[in-house]
Structure 1
Amino acid sequence: MNDFFSERKKRLHDFKVKFLKKTAVKKQTDIPDGLFLKCEECQKPIYEKELEAQLHVCPNCGFHFRINAKKRIAMLADDDTFVEVNEHLESTNPLGMPFYEEKLNSAKKFTNQNDAFISGSCTIGDYPCFLGVLDSFFMMGSMGSVVGEKVTRLIELAIKEHKPLVIVSASGGARMQEGILSLMQMAKTAGALKKLEQEKLLYISVMTYPTTGGVAASFATLGDINIAEKSALIGFAGSRVIKQTIKEELPAHFQSAEFQKEHGLIDLVVERKQLKSQISALLKLHQGGHKA
């Protein structure tokens, strides 16, 4: 009798395990992958199509997700006006760093572009300008020799054509695989911007999440008007590195866009949905209302 009940109990257990496994598989396949995303800030689930409709801004807490350079250009430039320049430039491996070429090839395939900076001419609100955008999805938007060269060439084009310049930054800083050659781009881009200033041309710098390292220490913070997109993280080094270096407690959120505005580094903090109209208004003011 005991054997009978033991066998029956075992069969019941096996049935439950088998049934639960099938149910779990069915529940997992009911919701396709990628249909919902979790917000990095509030951790709440977001319907992917709703996130796209909101320009990749969380509808719950307002956190601004990272977006790639092509989406950024589509949001800022007027329809069918962006004409890319210097798209053929590609990074090499000047210092012979191990695995650097593999990382470059992987980034090219992932983003379908040659490097981390896309630049060209366009109109924004019908006002002509030159526009450059760093892509944080290409090796974290790091600045190597090619990025520095493309930024410099864009500045020189703005000088030649006597048009305003807009650069949107999203970067982890200088590209360590290129060592000193990468750091030299800081001085190179800053020197080109000095020439732009001498020509009395407008430079609008837009800092997004994240703008750090050598990019933050060079062209990103040298704008005539420095704008930070809401949710932007702005700084040179990470908070842990700074804390270990200066041996002091740091203010809360000291690398946030709002903190930087309060302390004078940033002129405006703007939500993504208002960014194009804000830049357009500044271009209008600079050009005296004269459109293309």
Structure 2
Amino acid sequence: MNWITNFVRPKINSMLGRREMPENLWIKDPETGEMVFHKDLEGNQWVIPSSGYHMKIAAKERLKHFFDNGDFEILENPKVPIDPLKFRDEKRYTDRLRDHRAKTGLDDAVVNATGAIEGLPIVATVQDFSFIGGSLGMAAGEAIVKGFETAIELKRPMVLFAASGGARMQEGILSLMQLARTTVAVDRLKEAGLPYVVVLTNPTTGGVTASYAMLGDIHIAEPGAIIGFAGARVIEQTIREKLPEGFQRSEYLMEHGMVDMVVSRIELKHMIARLLKILVNEDVAEETPQMDILPPQPAKAESRAGA
């Protein structure tokens, strides 16, 4: 063993050599190309301060910012059969599930939690788009139903953050059955007289839009979110017409009466807390800060955002 080669040289290199920088230290704004410091973006709920671009945010990260003092309790999701159809495309479905669970730290695309916003106890359900595109399968469907059942049991309002590409093709008809099951769960919540607020994030599409995501008492959309059933390209090919500028963006849907309001992620907590307190007949402070509710306006086709 050469003591100089194996010990002295590495020690000198570590002191004088170039340090490796983290890959995600700076993040590029997809709209303006501006470089934003990672910590600044994280502290601003993954909303770029200069442009207001809403980047995608992980489910647990969203819950941390949404609940008072970041204090919440995650509910355990029900167990379901894994790969009931023995599906395989480029890789086995079981392998795909294993990879996404390792990458995200989640069991599936839906996270349920209980906590309080501005002192009001609620149940929140969040879809994480990073888990197979937030797709709705048996596990996600069971988790959503569990969220509604918990809200009914605890007699709390329900807030759902939708982010999905639609039903999960690897589970076929079993995934489509979740549309009906979650719709029944929404009906049970409303029969119990409990408020249901839906926050539509980017993107919310497919069967999710055709079921629980558009059945809320109030629908709030994040700025620039894509919201729709079929993709714009499919619609254009079907009707053989050019779609309007900004079609399926949250601002366009608000202008045409499909959503109630477009609210920045920074203001969501206070807005939802105020709305829920009104719906449950709880006293609301007379003086409140001005909300960042975006007025109806034609959306730019190049405007994009993340969930």
TM bucket by the smaller chain? 0.7 to 0.9
In 2 relative to 1, CA 168–91 (structure 1 residues): closer, same or farther, beyond 3 Å?
Answer: farther
Contact 2:78–2:142, Cα closer than 8 Å, also in 1? no
Secondary structure at 1:58's aligned position in 2? coil
Name the CA distance, whole Å, in 2 between partners of 1:60 and 1:214. 34
In 2 relative to 1, CA 31–79 (structure 1 residues): closer, same or farther, beyond 3 Å?
Answer: closer
Name the CA distance, whole Å, in 2 between partners of 1:114 and 1:139. 11
Provide Cα deviations, 1:175-207, integer angstroms capped at 9, x if missing partner. Answer: 111111111111111111112222221000001
Tell me the residue number matched to 1:273.
266
Unpaired stretches in structure 1, ≥5 consecutive residues: 1-27
Name the CA distance, whole Å, in 1 between partners of 2:153 and 2:283. 19
Letter of the 1:273 partner, please give it.
I
2:249 to 241, 256, 267: 256
Contact 1:91–1:115, Cα closer than 8 Å, also in 2? no
Name the CA distance, whole Å, in 2 between partners of 1:54 and 1:171. 23
Name the CA distance, whole Å, in 2 between partners of 1:45 and 1:80. 28
Secondary structure at 2:56's aligned position in 1? coil
Secondary structure at 1:123's aligned position in 2? strand
1:1-292 correspondence to structure 2 within 5 Å: 32-79=22-69, 81-87=71-77, 89=79, 92-98=82-88, 99-289=92-282
Contact 2:78–2:143, Cα closer than 8 Å, also in 1? no
Contact 2:124–2:158, Cα closer than 8 Å, also in 1? yes
Q: CA deviation at 1:100?
A: 0.7
Name the CA distance, whole Å, in 2 between partners of 1:224 and 1:184. 23
Letter of the 1:281 partner, please give it.
R
Name the CA distance, whole Å, in 1 between partners of 2:29 and 2:176. 34
Q: CA deviation at 1:59?
A: 2.4
Which structure has more relative contact order (CA 8 Å, sep 6+)? It is: 2
Name the CA distance, whole Å, in 1 between partners of 2:269 and 2:137. 28
Using structure 2 for the length normalisation, give the TM-score. 0.81
Secondary structure at 1:189's aligned position in 2? helix
Contact 2:161–2:200, Cα closer than 8 Å, also in 1? yes
In 2 relative to 1, CA 159–142 (structure 1 residues): closer, same or farther, beyond 3 Å?
Answer: same
Provide Cα deviations, 1:96-151, integer angstroms capped at 9, x if missing partner. Answer: 10111111001100111111100022111110111110001111111101111111
More helix by share: 1
Provide Cα deviations, 1:210-242, integer angstroms capped at 9, x if missing partner. Answer: 111111111111100000011211111211111
Name the CA distance, whole Å, in 2 between partners of 1:148 and 1:247. 35
Contact 1:212–1:235, Cα closer than 8 Å, also in 2? yes
Provide Cα deviations, 1:24-52, integer angstroms capped at 9, x if missing partner. Answer: xxxx9786522211122222222222222
Secondary structure at 2:74's aligned position in 1? strand
Instruction: Give the structure with higher Rg (CA).
Output: 1
Using structure 1 for the length normalisation, give the TM-score. 0.85
Name the CA distance, whole Å, in 1 between partners of 2:71 and 2:109. 21
Letter of the 1:211 partner, please give it.
T
Unpaired stretches in structure 2, ≥5 consecutive residues: 1-17, 285-307
Counting matched residue pairs gives: 264
Task: Give the share of equivalent positions with the same residue, in percent.
Answer: 42
